[in-house]
């Protein structure tokens, strides 16, 4: 089983690449989905988050993501504290999904991991692929498609590794600055050249 780590900065095009890998036949394990799953009501991770950040980050038993974001994207120490709580739960869920794929005889598994570099997981995969796009374009995308202010977009980008740091950890860098179709075509070329058939 070929294991690929896929990463990229927020709004660089990673989700487009991830979707194309799935269309080509890869089993995609989305770590953002796992991160949402591990903090569902009643979960151990949610209990740990409330213990660390207080009741103000929960509404009707559910994690109030906006309230938590207000805390962690303004303070590096608080963001690190959240990551130390959540990442072990996400890693455990990802390993379980990986084992399941192996049991099912899946040929290619793509782990879609926004914070692959930040969490030091680059060496855990057979290949690492990153999607890069200029910061100005990513800010523009976040403002237009996700309703963030320019300052919020800049804070999210600043909280992540740089494109240079991701490229240093990657075997392949895809260009996410063009259209979704152009990025999908790059995934196709990568797939046809490097993925065993």
Tell me how far apart the alpha carbons of residues 176 and 184 are, in angstroms, rounded to a whole number: 9
Instruction: Report CA Rg, the chain.
Output: 17
- By the 8 A CB rule, do 4 and 131 touch? no
Q: Which residues contact 63 (CB under 8 A, 6 or more apart)?
A: 39, 46, 49, 57
Lowest-pLDDT range, 15-19, 100-104, 119-123?
A: 119-123
For the stretch 19-44, pLDDT in tens is: 999 999 999 999 999 999 999 999 99
- By the 8 A CB rule, do 96 and 109 touch? no
For range 165-176, the mean pLDDT? 96
CA distance readout (Å), 185 to 99, 110, 174: 30, 17, 10
Tokens 């240093």 correspond to what residue? 168
Kindly indicate the confidence band of residue 196, based on its pLDDT and cuts at 50, 70 and 90. low
Tell me which residue of 175, 195, 192 sits closest to 16, measured CA to CA: 175
Q: Measured on CA atoms in the order 9, 15, 21, 25, is the torsion positive or negative?
A: positive
Mean confidence (pLDDT) of the chain: 94
Kindly indicate the confidence band of residue 107, based on its pLDDT and cuts at 50, 70 and 90. very high
Strands 2-8 and 127-132: parallel
Domain coordinates in residue numbering, the chain: 2-194
pLDDT at 197: 58
Domain 2-194 maps to which CATH number in 3.40.50.300, 1.10.3720.10, 3.40.50.620, 2.40.50.430?
3.40.50.300
């Amino acid at each position: 089983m070929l294991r690929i780590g896929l990463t990229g900065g927020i709004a660089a095009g990673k989700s487009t690449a991830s979707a194309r890998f799935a269309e080509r036949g890869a089993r995609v394990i989305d770590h953002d989905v796992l991160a949402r799953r591990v903090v569902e009501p009643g979960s151990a991770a949610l209990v740990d988050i409330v213990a660390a950040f207080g009741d103000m980050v929960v509404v009707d038993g559910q994690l109030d993501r906006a309230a938590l974001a207000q805390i962690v994207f303004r303070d590096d120490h608080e963001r690190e504290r959240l990551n130390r709580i959540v990442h072990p739960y996400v890693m455990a869920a990802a390993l379980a999904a990986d084992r399941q794929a192996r049991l099912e005889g899946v040929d290619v598994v793509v782990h879609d991991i926004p914070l692959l570099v930040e969490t030091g997981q680059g060496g855990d995969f057979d290949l690492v692929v990153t999607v890069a796009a200029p910061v100005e374009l990513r800010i523009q995308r976040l403002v237009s498609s996700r309703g963030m202010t320019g300052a919020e977009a800049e804070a999210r980008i600043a909280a992540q590794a740089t494109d240079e740091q991701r490229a240093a950890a990657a075997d392949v860098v895809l260009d996410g600055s063009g259209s979704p179709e152009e990025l999908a075509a790059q995934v196709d070329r990568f797939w046809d050249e490097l993925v065993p058939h």
